[in-house]
A = this chain, B = another copy of it.
Amino acid sequence: MGIEIERKFLVRSDGWRDGVTSSAALQQGYLSSNAKATVRVRTKDDAHGILTLKGVAEGLSRSEFEYVIPIEEARELLEMARPHVIQKRRFLVPYAGFVWEVDVFEGAHSGLVMAEVELEAPDQPVPLPDWVGAEVSHDDRYANASLSRTPGVPACEEDVLAPSDLS
């Protein structure tokens, strides 16, 4: 098991596009999301299959179990997960020693752009790029499993308290 510790933000501008080093098309289906675990199947560029089990989040942290599976089986599991499937393109954007993942959602969530960064400890300081907007780490509506159940974009950026609004 790994522990996933991550912070998640809305994206307020296209500034990140200049720093992209690679990208991949992701499809993610949710077979379950309950009080014990979230069970996700992902295909990457329709060529790689990954099955992931995540425990319940405690603050920014979550246990995570990840298994590579044959792409044909991943495609079949995606079908089983419908309609709870999301589609996005993930861009990798290095910034100040961290690699940010910028997710541009497609299909039912077109218009939503989020940025995630993985930490080694919940209190690790992270320099924020200027294209990063409001933090949504603790807003369940922005969890990908929640999005898979709800078409559309949860809230526009101005509906969410930006860090500067808290001063």
The interface of chain A, by Cβ under 8 A from chain B, is 1, 31-32, 34, 36-37, 39, 51, 53, 55, 63, 65, 67, 69, 72-73, 76-77, 80-81, 84
Contacts and interface: CB of A to CB of B under 8 A. Distances in A.
| Copies held by the complex | 2
A37 B30 CA distance: 10
Contact of A65 (B32, B77, B81): B77
A37 B80 contact: yes
A55 B66 CA distance: 20
Contact of A76 (B63, B80, B84): B63
B67 A36 contact: no
Contact of A39 (B39, B69, B73): B39
Contact of A32 (B1, B36, B72, B80): B36
A81 B36 contact: yes
